[in-house]
């Protein structure tokens, strides 16, 4: 527990307490807390997909399928079988991980566009299967789900997701995933089992996507198999967060998830024009930052310190120059 880790823990605890205090004082309304919870869920989705696309160099666009598996599996257990909420969350996440492993094992031997098409196909297969299961509502959607998820749950699991994936990347296995991204052929020549690491990253990403799905279904109290919730459009939204934040940047994914969750809400007052303003903002960002907001780099204490010193150094030089002139 270094000083920096203690400082980060203190900041996160302070942020949580601040949100709870503002909610108790009715400064933050239930609608505001819902948006904050959705931000945490989107961070989980973006960071878990970044492990697959950004750090391992694969191109998956079926992430919403695993999100849907976790959402429906956990909701089915709590509504139909009265399974406790936390246990249902864990089982839903494990179900998504198992499906991710079964899908990834045969498909991750493919690369590039072929892999994207296959993962998109599997994501749509998952959605269509759910669409035709009457027990979970079918096309009408699954209603009557207990709203057991609180902002505290989403905040806690979001932090756990970021910490686990960050630490995984720092291990030998995470560096092997990065090696696969940089040069798969050279990695194989050095004895790295590329298929194993690609499937591992895919499975871990699916697990956290399923966990996010379970939190989402119990946060909203309702889920349906529409394309914008567990289908192609949702997968594209998650992919945009990863690309906008920067492939291979966890802090970039966190920032992009916050940005892209808040922007539609902030533009809600523009009515139908927000559907024009929103893509224009995305286009401008990608024009000026084609590699993403952080471009594969992490926002670290060193980077903040260097930036601060750079600014203060310039100010000091300007002050000396001014004094000299006087």
pLDDT tens across 240-271, in order? Answer: 999 888 888 999 999 999 988 988 888 777 76
Beta-carbon contacts of 223 under 8 Å, excluding residues fewer than 6 positions away, are 68, 71, 72, 75, 141, 142, 145, 216, 217, 229, 230
**The pLDDT of residue 308:** 59
Q: What is the mean pLDDT of residues 221-234?
A: 83
3-state SS of the chain is CCHHHHHHHHHHHHHHHHHHHHHHCCCCCHHHHHHHHHHHHHHHHHHHHHHHHHHCCCCCCCHHHHHHHHHHHHHHHHHHCCCCHHHHHHHHHHHHHHHHHHHHHHHCCCCHHHHHHHHHHHHHHHHHHHHCCHHHCHHHCECCCCCCCCHHHHHHHHHHHHHHHHHHHHCHHHHHHHHHHHCHHHHHHCCCCHHHHHHHHHHHHHHHHHHHHHHHHHHHCCECCCHHHHCHHHHHHHHHHHHHHCCCCHHHHHHHHHHHHHHHHHCHHHHHHHHHHHHHHHHHHHHHCCCCCCCCCCCCHHHHHHHHHHHHHHHHHHHHHHHHHC
Q: What is the mean pLDDT of residues 157-186?
A: 92
- 236 closest CA partner among 61, 48, 115, 112: 61
What percent of the chain is predicted at pLDDT more than 90?
A: 48
Q: What is the mean pLDDT of residues 134-150?
A: 89
3-state SS of 151-212 is HHHHHHHHHHHHHHHHHHHHCHHHHHHHHHHHCHHHHHHCCCCHHHHHHHHHHHHHHHHHHH
Tell me what the pLDDT averaged over the chain comes to: 86
Q: Tell me: the pLDDT tens digits for 61-76?
A: 889 999 999 999 999 9
- pLDDT bin (cut points 50, 70, 90) of residue 203 is very high
Domain ranges of the chain: 30-245
- pLDDT bin (cut points 50, 70, 90) of residue 303 is low
- pLDDT bin (cut points 50, 70, 90) of residue 18 is very high
Token pair, residue 56, equals 């391992």
Interatomic CA distance for residues 86 and 269, integer angstroms = 37
């Amino acid at each position: 527990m270094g000083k920096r880790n203690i400082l980060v823990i203190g900041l996160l605890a302070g942020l949580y307490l601040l949100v709870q205090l503002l909610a108790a004082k009715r400064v933050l309304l239930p609608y505001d807390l819902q948006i904050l919870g959705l931000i945490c869920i989107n961070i989980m989705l973006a960071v878990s997909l970044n492990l697959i696309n950004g750090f391992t160099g694969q191109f998956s666009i079926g992430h919403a399928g695993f999100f849907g598996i976790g959402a429906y599996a956990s909701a089915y257990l709590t509504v139909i079988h009265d399974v406790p909420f936390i246990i249902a969350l864990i089982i839903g996440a494990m179900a998504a991980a198992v499906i991710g492993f079964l899908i990834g094992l045969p498909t991750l031997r493919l690369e590039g566009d072929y892999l994207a098409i296959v993962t998109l196909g599997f994501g749509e297969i998952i959605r269509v299967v759910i669409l035709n299961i009457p027990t979970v509502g079918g096309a009408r959607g699954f209603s009557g789900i207990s709203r057991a998820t609180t902002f505290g749950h989403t905040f806690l699991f979001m932090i756990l997701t970021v910490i686990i994936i960050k630490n995984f990347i720092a291990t030998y296995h995470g560096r092997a995933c990065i090696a696969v991204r940089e040069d798969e052929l050279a990695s194989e020549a050095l004895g790295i089992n590329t298929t194993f690491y690609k499937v591992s990253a895919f499975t871990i990403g699916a697990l956290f996507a399923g966990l996010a799905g379970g939190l989402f279904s119990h946060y909203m109290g309702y889920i349906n198999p529409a394309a914008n919730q567990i289908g192609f459009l949702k997968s594209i939204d998650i992919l945009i967060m990863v690309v906008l934040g920067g492939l291979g940047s966890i802090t970039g994914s966190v920032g992009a998830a916050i940005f892209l969750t808040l922007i539609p809400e902030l533009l809600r007052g523009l009515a139908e024009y927000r559907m024009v303003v929103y893509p224009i903002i995305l286009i401008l960002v990608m024009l000026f930052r084609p590699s993403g907001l952080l471009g594969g780099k992490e926002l670290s204490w060193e980077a903040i310190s260097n930036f601060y010193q750079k600014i203060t150094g310039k100010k000091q030089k300007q002050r000396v120059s001014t004094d000299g002139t006087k």
